[in-house]
Amino acid sequence: MNKLKKFIPWIIPVLLIIFWQLSAVVGILDTKVIPSPLQVIQQGIKLTKNGTLPKNIAVSLYRATLGFLLGGSIGFVLGMANALSTLSRNLLDSTIQMIRNIPHLALLPLFIVWFGIGEPAKVYLVALGVMFPIYINTYNGIKNVSPDLIEMGQLYQLSRSKMFKKIIFPGALPSILVGVRYALGVMWTTLIVAETVNAKSGLGYMATDAQNFANTKTLILVVVMYAILGKLSDSIAKFLEEELLSWQVGEVKA
Amino acid sequence: MKKKNTFKKIIYSLLALAWVATAVAGFLVLRSESNQGSSSTDSKNLTVVNFGYQRGDEADIIRMNGQFAKDAKKLGYKIKWTLFQDGTSLLTALTSNHIQFGRTGNTPPVVSQASGTNVVYVGATTSKSESSMILVPEDSEISSIADLKGKTVAYGFGTSSTYFLIKALQSADLTLNDITETNLGQSAAATAFQTGKVDAWVTWDPYSAAAEIQNNAKVLTTAKGYSGDYNFFLSTKKWASKHSDLIDLLNKDGKIAMKWANNNHSTLIKTFVKELGLDEDVAELQVSRRTYGMASLSDSTIINEQQDIADVLYDNDMIDTKINVKDAIINE
């Protein structure tokens, strides 16, 4: 039964692909407009053999990771600062909330003007996208640490750094990790926008280039790659969550 | 239970490790890409010139030909080619001084000048009016421009199709108000056209060649007689005034590259098939009906057309300033 349960999440994707392939075979789907899954897989094999796909995945992964680390750190620090200091919150929070809602596509011209057309502009755009979910979840995580625990810490006369290490940070961690998972998704969607400007490599470049020349096989292939990479990064984050928060489960059981 | 957890731990650690390794590989790819061609020691004291191009355009041909970059080196410049996906972002990069040269169609420089930028024309190409066209589906009952009345027409707002369409409609005493305009990018328009969601599509090669070959689209008219549809090499006022030697060279070597392109159709077709991912017959049709060439900016036909584009866009409320195109011409 347990083994069967493992397959449940895959039922919908697999059924969708079967339906997609069948409609192409039967002829409901015009493969000139949208290719069949088999054609997409063939294109994937072709582009893997000539090295295009692995190269572009590697480049995108590099930009994504760098942007994630940069934006994640900034979001984390800002979230902490604003949760712990009223002055900082009054000063920064409204500004952050305003910037948060600007679509990345609208920011692209500004990023070209500010940071040019090289690698930094792409990494910064990803960093900006990633920053907000981490910021909000860090902030909320710290704000929602149980006041009882903080009071207990005060009773024990914990030092500020000990208080943070033993009570505030662990208390906020579940929320921060939710932010991380969400940010990983944002990371990929922002990257596709960032890679439309002066990129000669990367999945976003592949997608725009394919779109520009109506190369739907490559376009769908890139979409599938995004889906796979998105799922993969989420799985890693989920595992991290399980590992880091295993003490929580223990606590409940006790 | 314990054992299973360790197994999971190993799997995920390996995954994370693979992630990092791939990212590092990506970094190395990027580093080698940016170092390409600049390994020679003498390139250190050369002035770097960033040249923006779009796939398959005249700048791309100058890049493939190689003569310009070679001669530029003798003048003390290192040409760095940067790829753009559309004219608008190319112009943003140009007017904010991140690139020094770029190639676009006829409309982006007009729009840019109207918004008060310091863009200047430094070169022009010969007409490509026979590579731009209005397409209708194979079985369409539309047989003249007048038939477009009340129909849905797809085109990219702010692209060279805008002026072409307005002029064509004008010839049949129609305006944009007489049709249903649909603003679609090239790939979205191609899909909409294929699936019969629009009645006509104003586009250019290779999209038109692809629609003709793959969907048996009919050519209602080419731009000939409505729009010369010239392409332009652009720079910024300040930069261009200081580097007239390189501009002269661009115009001189541009001619060599265009001649090379006209004489080497098979190389061009092969490159387009490989780099643009076009089908061979599409690339063949595209190349066969196009003659590449450089034109002079002192040619009044070209300047008058640019001025007319500016006036037409102004009259249609697409730009909000009246401009004098001559203000943006660098005298050769």
The mean per-residue pLDDT over the stretch A131-158 comes to: 89
**Does the structure show a pLDDT above 50 at A2?**
yes
Tell if the CB–CB gap between A59 and B30 is shorter than 8 Å: yes
- Residues whose CB is less than 8 angstroms from the CB of residue A24 and which lie 6 or more positions away in sequence, other chains included: A31, A34, A35, A36, A37, A38, A39
Chain B residue nearest residue A65, CA to CA: B23
Minimum distance, in Å, between the CA of residue B320 and any CA atom of chain A: 20
Minimum distance, in Å, between the CA of residue A68 and any CA atom of chain B: 12
Tell if the CB–CB gap between B85 and A208 is shorter than 8 Å: yes
- pLDDT at site A249: 55
User: Which amino acid, residue A217?
Assistant: K
The size of chain B, in residues, is 332
Tell if the CB–CB gap between A117 and B93 is shorter than 8 Å: yes
Instruction: Please tell me the number of Cα atoms within 13 Å of A17 on its side-chain side.
Output: 11
Q: Which 3 state secondary structure label does DSSP give B90?
A: helix
- pLDDT at site A254: 33
Domain residue spans in chain A?
50-253
- The pLDDT confidence band at residue B293, using thresholds 50, 70 and 90, is very high
The CATH class given to the B2-126+230-276+291-317 domain equals: alpha beta
The mean per-residue pLDDT over the stretch B109-122 comes to: 92
**Residues on chain B touching A196 (C-beta within 8 angstroms):** 85, 89
**The pairing of beta strand B232-236 with beta strand B119-125:** antiparallel
**Does the structure show a pLDDT above 50 at A253?**
no
Minimum distance, in Å, between the CA of residue A209 and any CA atom of chain B: 7
Which of B234, B231, B282 has its CA nearest to residue B106? B231
Which of A121, A129, A119, A128 has its CA nearest to residue A185? A129
**A145: contact with B, CB 8 A cutoff:** no
**A119: contact with B, CB 8 A cutoff:** yes
The angle that helices A104-115 and A119-143 make with each other, rounded to 10 degrees, is: 120
**Mean of pLDDT over chain A:** 86
Which of B113, B118, B115 has its CA nearest to residue B100? B118
DSSP code at position B329: B
Residue B51, sorted as left (phi over 0), alpha (psi -120 to 50) or beta, turns out to be beta
**Residues on chain B touching A64 (C-beta within 8 angstroms):** 23
B161-192 pLDDT, tens digit each: 999 999 999 999 999 999 999 988 887 888 88
Consecutive H or E run containing A156: none
Interface probe with A: pick from B30, B112, B280, most Cβ of A within 10 Å: B30
Minimum distance, in Å, between the CA of residue A195 and any CA atom of chain B: 10
- Residues whose CB is less than 8 angstroms from the CB of residue A226 and which lie 6 or more positions away in sequence, other chains included: A188, A192, A203
A143-147, A192-196, B33-37, B125-129: the lowest-pLDDT one: B33-37
The angle that helices A37-49 and A2-26 make with each other, rounded to 10 degrees, is: 100
Task: Using only the alpha carbons of chain B, give its radius of gyration.
Answer: 23
**The pairing of beta strand B47-53 with beta strand B77-83:** parallel
Domain residue spans in chain B?
2-126+230-276+291-317, 130-222
Contact B98, A117 (CB under 8 A): yes
DSSP code at position B91: H
Tell if the CB–CB gap between A119 and B30 is shorter than 8 Å: yes
The size of chain A, in residues, is 254
Distance in angstroms (rounded) separating the CA atoms of residues B145 and B172? 6
Place of tokens 């929070």: A93
- pLDDT at site B39: 44
Interface probe with B: pick from A61, A68, A203, most Cβ of B within 10 Å: A61
Which of B180, B202, B204 has its CA nearest to residue B193? B202
The mean per-residue pLDDT over the stretch B24-32 comes to: 87
Chain B residue nearest residue A66, CA to CA: B23
Which of B182, B214, B201 has its CA nearest to residue B286? B214
User: What's domain B130-222's superfamily in CATH?
Assistant: Periplasmic binding protein-like II (3.40.190.10)
Tell if the CB–CB gap between A58 and B277 is shorter than 8 Å: no
- The pLDDT confidence band at residue B101, using thresholds 50, 70 and 90, is very high
- Per the structure block, which two tokens stand in for A245? 């928060």
DSSP code at position A166: I
**Does the structure show a pLDDT above 50 at A252?**
no
**Does the structure show a pLDDT above 70 at B332?**
no
Tell if the CB–CB gap between B55 and A211 is shorter than 8 Å: no
Consecutive H or E run containing B49: strand B47-53
Minimum distance, in Å, between the CA of residue B85 and any CA atom of chain A: 7
**Does the structure show a pLDDT above 90 at B323?**
yes
Question: Residue A239: how many CB atoms within 10 A of its CB?
Answer: 17
Chain B residue nearest residue A67, CA to CA: B23
Interface probe with A: pick from B6, B83, B97, B159, most Cβ of A within 10 Å: B83
φ and ψ at residue B230, rounded to 5 degrees: -80, 155
Please name every residue paired with B82 in a beta bridge, in sequence order, or none if there are none.
B52
Tell if the CB–CB gap between A212 and B8 is shorter than 8 Å: no
DSSP code at position B85: S
Tell if the CB–CB gap between A236 and B207 is shorter than 8 Å: no
Percentage of the residues of chain A whose pLDDT score is greater than 70: 95
What does the DSSP assignment read for A13-35? HHHHHHHHHHHHHHTSS-TTTS-
Tell if the CB–CB gap between B277 and A197 is shorter than 8 Å: no
Instruction: Tell me how far apart the terminal alpha carbons of chain B are, to the nearest angstrom.
Output: 80
- pLDDT at site A30: 77
Cα B30 to Cα A196, B25, B38, distances in angstroms = 16, 9, 14
A193-235 pLDDT, tens digit each: 888 776 778 898 888 878 777 678 888 999 899 989 998 888 8
The mean per-residue pLDDT over the stretch A5-33 comes to: 85
At the topology level of CATH, where does A50-253 sit? MetI-like fold (1.10.3720)
**Does the structure show a pLDDT above 80 at A103?**
yes
Q: Is the ipTM, as predicted for this complex, more than 0.95? A: no
How large is the greatest C-alpha to C-alpha distance in chain B, in angstroms?
A: 83
**Mean of pLDDT over chain B:** 89
**Residues on chain A touching B96 (C-beta within 8 angstroms):** 112-113, 116
Same fold, B2-126+230-276+291-317 and B130-222: yes
- The pLDDT confidence band at residue B36, using thresholds 50, 70 and 90, is low
**B187: contact with A, CB 8 A cutoff:** yes
Which of B275, B320, B198, B253 has its CA nearest to residue B58? B253
Please name every residue paired with B161 in a beta bridge, in sequence order, or none if there are none.
none
The mean per-residue pLDDT over the stretch A153-163 comes to: 86
**B101: contact with A, CB 8 A cutoff:** no
A35-92 pLDDT, tens digit each: 889 989 999 999 999 888 999 999 999 999 999 999 999 999 999 999 988 899 899 9
**A246: contact with B, CB 8 A cutoff:** no
Tell if the CB–CB gap between B55 and A57 is shorter than 8 Å: no
Q: Is the model more confident about A160 or about A140?
A: A140
Which of A135, A138, A164 has its CA nearest to residue A149? A164
φ and ψ at residue B180, rounded to 5 degrees: -100, 110
A15-28 pLDDT, tens digit each: 998 998 988 888 88
**Residues on chain B touching A244 (C-beta within 8 angstroms):** none
**Residues on chain A touching B93 (C-beta within 8 angstroms):** 112, 116-117, 197-198
Minimum distance, in Å, between the CA of residue A142 and any CA atom of chain B: 28
Instruction: Please tell me the number of Cα atoms within 13 Å of A147 on its side-chain side.
Output: 0
Distance in angstroms (rounded) separating the CA atoms of residues A91 and A36? 53
**Residues on chain A touching B26 (C-beta within 8 angstroms):** 55, 57-63
**Does the structure show a pLDDT above 90 at B52?**
yes
B227-255 pLDDT, tens digit each: 999 999 999 999 999 999 999 999 999 99
Alpha-helical runs (H) found in chain B: 2-35, 58-65, 67-74, 87-95, 107-114, 160-171, 186-194, 207-215, 237-242, 244-263, 265-275, 280-288, 300-315
